[in-house]
Structure 1
């Protein structure tokens, strides 16, 4: 089943550009998801980041809660278990997480909406490995956006000056062991992502499922050397649904597996806060008239959505 969602070698963006762009664009038009291999991020770097994240989540509850910012919408630091709830869902997700954002100077015009990062002093190497992975995924995301831009007739570097100060987030997630049977909650309820694209590195267990156009839930467990990249709502809106933001979820595993923790680390690539999300004229046709006559800033859209998922 998983093979139905394509996995592509990003090295072909250099060696076989036109064919790669066509195949990647087709995968996203159909699925909103693709796997990217040969991404160039060393496994040792990914493993080191996972190690510091696991060590943080193993800390006592009261220690972790020192890094929770009440009223901060989860923008930085720690968000405790049982807070985030998928849009329209009755039950909260079975997870806790941490947010790392972009490091920017204090005199940046974006400082008001992009607060400084918090770093847990109890976990040596957290900042080094956490922000190192942030930067690596930011670079990889820019390459994917270059290919997507070419596929819809934009310049290869079209996104470069619109994401260089993007309010992007690295989110290490811990799904604790599930010890009760027949609970109504799932690890992550069916949802779409808010941002431009999401890069998911090294989920430690199966559980990710993608909703196909036919209405079937398709499991997508990537190989160890593959990063899963999917379209978010901002890019769907910008491209007038040429690139769909596909519903996905993380289901609870069978009983024995459910007793084990699950970790995953998505990177949510956002535009600069003042970027105006306005439907690209090239994506408007007689068959696909503009669905969004009113533009909205990336920050305005983000705040609207954070309220919907109970983070604000």
Structure 2
């Protein structure tokens, strides 16, 4: 059974996508329209794989700084490998975020038409089975994201399989995130400044530790509080543009911990699911009211990604 939080962010079971696809799509879609977020239980990503990936991430982030920085690719725009603490900055913000992270992307064969858009992955030799674990998690996230997109398509009353081709070989990114403990004042810096995601949808594991908040339509910051093992889903800018704003790409942030949790690190693993690089993002039929112009001009997924990476100072 689905439950609804006090603020009406949908919390649903992915099993309902098969048992009652219309009701599942309606609850999910309405939550995305109102809040840009939903919480999904029974998502099918194995607990063993999640725990294994968490342990591998913790092992990497515990390495000495000079070791981690071997994997910082200064000319890569943060698309692969390690990005050190204090680099990523939310769009329009001056204070950098209090986090470090590792990026895993899609592996494409030689000669693939998108090969120039996606650099090769790099892997830390110091953490055994890191590559195998995160490659497996990447593929699992990819499959789970497609199930969510099928429900979104049903809600939008388009072909359920519409999104399958739009995201095939997309420039999706799996990020392992570490927000270190805080032992001294952080000034204007918070763990992640208010921002919207660039991509199509984001699937997030590890948000049980308090801190994630979203901005409501009426200007309130409210917590997003999944139960252990649940998946947080949010709409990205690309899907917002595709639906002419019907599905909301909502501002969200990760605030600093309360004093009793300040000595605890925070770890999470978001998967940023992207459209394929040459997909032209323009409003779906029926999403622009008669007599009005689209809210945004057409743009390819790759062009939009590069534009936004410049804005957040990764390139």
The Cα shift of 1:287 comes to 8.4
SS in 2 for 1:178: coil
Deviations 1:220-255 (A, max 9, x none): 121013100000000000100010100000000112
Question: Are 2:51 and 1:47 equivalent residues in the alignment?
Answer: yes
Q: Quick check: 1:188–1:250 contact (8 Å CA) kept in 2?
A: yes
How far apart are the structure 2 equivalents of 1:268 and 1:286? 33
Deviations 1:155-181 (A, max 9, x none): 001010111101000000001111212
Q: Map of 1:223-238 to 2, 5 A cutoff?
A: 223-238=227-242
Q: How many residues align?
A: 311
Partner of 2:299 in structure 1? 296
Q: Quick check: 1:176–1:261 contact (8 Å CA) kept in 2?
A: yes
How far apart are the structure 1 equivalents of 2:208 and 2:221? 20
TM-score under structure 2 normalisation? 0.96
How far apart are the structure 2 equivalents of 1:67 and 1:262? 21
How far apart are the structure 2 equivalents of 1:62 and 1:55? 15
Match of 1:165 among 169, 172, 175: 169
Partner of 1:70 in structure 2? 74
Q: Map of 1:1-312 to 2, 5 A cutoff?
A: 3-4=6-7, 5-181=9-185, 183-203=187-207, 205-286=209-290, 289-292=293-296, 294-312=297-315
Q: Quick check: 1:2–1:221 contact (8 Å CA) kept in 2?
A: no
TM-score under structure 1 normalisation? 0.97
How far apart are the structure 2 equivalents of 1:199 and 1:22? 19
How far apart are the structure 2 equivalents of 1:158 and 1:223? 31
Q: Quick check: 2:173–2:272 contact (8 Å CA) kept in 1?
A: yes
SS in 1 for 2:286: helix
SS in 2 for 1:28: helix
How far apart are the structure 2 equivalents of 1:183 and 1:89? 14
Of stretches 185-194 and 147-156 in structure 1, the one that deviates more from structure 2 is 147-156
Runs of 4+ deviating beyond 4 Å: none
SS in 2 for 1:194: coil
The Cα shift of 1:288 comes to 6.5
The Cα shift of 1:44 comes to 1.0
Aligned CA RMSD, in angstroms, stands at 1.4
Q: Quick check: 1:152–1:282 contact (8 Å CA) kept in 2?
A: no
Ranges in structure 2 where 5+ consecutive residues have no aligned partner: none
Deviations 1:166-202 (A, max 9, x none): 1000000001111212521000000000000000012
How far apart are the structure 1 equivalents of 2:229 and 2:292? 37
Q: Quick check: 1:189–1:250 contact (8 Å CA) kept in 2?
A: yes
How far apart are the structure 1 equivalents of 2:247 and 2:292? 12
SS in 1 for 2:116: coil
Deviations 1:19-59 (A, max 9, x none): 11111111111110000111011111100000001100000
How far apart are the structure 2 equivalents of 1:174 and 1:62? 17
SS in 1 for 2:178: strand
Summarize the Cα distance change of 1:200–1:3 in structure 2 as closer, same or farther, 3 Å threshold.
Answer: farther
SS in 1 for 2:162: coil
